[in-house]
């Protein structure tokens, strides 16, 4: 069967859709599906499986505009069975990018290149979302003005540099917060035009929302900072509330559940010393009240001296704590998740509802189909790739 769908080009039609399971009436091995391949419905949108693609910076944009690199990169996941794809960090203001080569959504001219990618994903029935972060740091290497950087236009909640050799950010006043907030809402409107299926606000890894939340980076003495948690949450919640009112599709928020700084999250005298899981629980609860549909739980990225105990699934315990605190709030787990059995165990044990993968999908974009093969479930590969997966598409009648 031919399929033109949204892309306006010929593609073979896939039935069921790529990455979805075959009916158990024909495929006995699908009588009881692994959690990883059970559909998940969020705000009326059904995700065909629970393997989500994390936002991955590709440093390949042209003045914030997506390029053919992004079409190939994202298109590869759309045709290989992922349940959802989150575009890379896409800034609503040019000075909010991590590097001069990062993606943006501050101009109408940036709509068409992204729309092309979304239409390709939709033609293959894969859901795709935008991930957006204004950032107050420039990344691990500071780009000078002659290379397109903006070292003198770095903003944050307080004038605290990430490290001695990084730019000192300018403390944002109410007018600048309003400027960024309004730019974010304009980007939400562009997301509607583009046709994204969901939006993820990136409030982790030292990005602007994270820097407002953490007492390490927010030492303001006004209503938006300092020791009171309510103050540090005030502007992020205000921004997300406006976005929720403007966006009727699924809305995700990525957080860093800990700064991984030395010492406890809270001192014996009650002083908050860093951002951690206890404050993350409070924040997640406030996000749930606003109607946020999923928390994507990551960690770190704000404190230069962070000490992270890297290992398989090292961030999953934080997702598990959020899930225990809010059983009805979908939670995503991330962090060195590489094996299908490992991913399935996190979902099956109730530690999270979905897994977000990045580097493992870079190494093997066919990971969703490989996971199905290892877990003994029959799913649909793209027609063009079926001959590579004979065991995945064969009914088990033994």
Q: Which residues are catalytic?
A: 207
SS3 130: strand
For residue 349, the number of C-alpha atoms closer than 13 Å in the C-beta half-sphere is 14
Neighbour tally for 317: CB within 10 Å: 15
Token code pair at residue 338: 């590489």
Residue 357 to residues 126, 157, 180, 302, 334: CA-CA distances in angstroms? 16, 30, 29, 21, 7
Q: Please tell me what DSSP assigns to residue 314.
A: T
Which residues have a Cβ under 8 Å from the Cβ of 67 and sit 6 or more positions away?
60, 61, 113
Q: How far apart are CA 66 and CA 116, in angstroms?
A: 10
Residue 73 to residues 121, 126, 179, 298: CA-CA distances in angstroms? 11, 14, 32, 23
SS3 180: helix
Most distant pair of Cα atoms in the chain: their distance: 69
The DSSP bridge pattern shows strands 170-171 and 155-156 to be: parallel
Strand partners, 182: none
Instruction: Indicate the helix (H) or strand (E) that contains 131.
Output: strand 127-132
Q: How far apart are CA 93 and CA 95, in angstroms?
A: 6
- Inter-residue contact 135 to 119 (CB < 8 Å): no
SS3 254: strand
Measured CA angle at 182 (ends 178, 185), to 5 deg = 145
Q: Please tell me what DSSP assigns to residue 58.
A: -
* Cα 156–chain centre separation: 21
């Amino acid at each position: 069967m031919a399929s033109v769908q949204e892309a306006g080009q010929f593609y073979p039609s896939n039935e069921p859709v790529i990455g979805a399971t075959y009916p158990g009436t024909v495929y006995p091995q699908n009588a009881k599906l692994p959690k990883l391949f059970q559909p998940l419905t969020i705000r009326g949108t059904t995700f065909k499986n629970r393997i989500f693609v994390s936002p991955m910076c590709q440093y390949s944009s042209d003045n914030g505009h997506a390029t053919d690199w992004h079409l190939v990169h994202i298109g590869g996941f759309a045709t290989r069975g992922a349940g959802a794809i989150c575009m890379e960090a896409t800034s609503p203001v040019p000075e909010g990018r991590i590097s001069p080569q990062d993606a943006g959504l501050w101009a109408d001219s940036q709509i068409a290149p992204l729309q092309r990618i979304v239409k390709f994903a939709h033609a293959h029935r894969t859901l795709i979302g935008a991930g957006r972060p204004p950032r107050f740091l420039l990344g691990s290497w500071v780009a000078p003005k002659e290379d397109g950087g903006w070292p003198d236009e770095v903003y944050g909640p307080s004038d605290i540099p990430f490290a001695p050799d990084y730019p000192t950010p300018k403390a944002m006043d109410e007018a600048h917060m309003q400027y960024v907030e309004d730019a974010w809402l304009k980007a939400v409107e562009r997301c509607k035009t583009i046709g994204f299926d969901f939006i993820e606000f990136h409030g982790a890894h030292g990005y602007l929302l994270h820097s407002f939340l953490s007492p390490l980076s927010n030492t303001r003495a006004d209503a938006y900072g300092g020791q009171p948690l309510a103050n540090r949450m005030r502007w992020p919640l205000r921004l997300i509330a406006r976005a929720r009112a403007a966006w009727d599709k699924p809305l995700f928020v990525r957080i860093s559940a800990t700064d991984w700084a030395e010492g406890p999250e809270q001192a014996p005298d009650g002083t908050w010393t860093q951002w951690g899981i206890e404050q993350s629980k409070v924040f997640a609860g406030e996000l749930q009240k606003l109607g946020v549909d999923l928390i994507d739980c990551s960690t770190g990225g704000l404190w230069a001296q962070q000490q992270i105990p890297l290992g398989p699934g090292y961030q999953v315990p934080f997702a598990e704590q959020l899930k225990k605190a809010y059983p009805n709030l979908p939670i995503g787990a991330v962090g060195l998740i590489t094996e299908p059995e490992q991913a399935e165990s996190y979902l099956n044990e109730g530690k999270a509802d979905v897994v977000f993968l990045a580097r493992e999908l870079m190494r093997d974009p066919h990971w969703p189909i490989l996971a199905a093969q290892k877990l003994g479930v029959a799913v649909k590969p793209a027609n063009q790739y079926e001959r590579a997966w004979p065991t995945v598409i064969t009914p088990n009648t033994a």
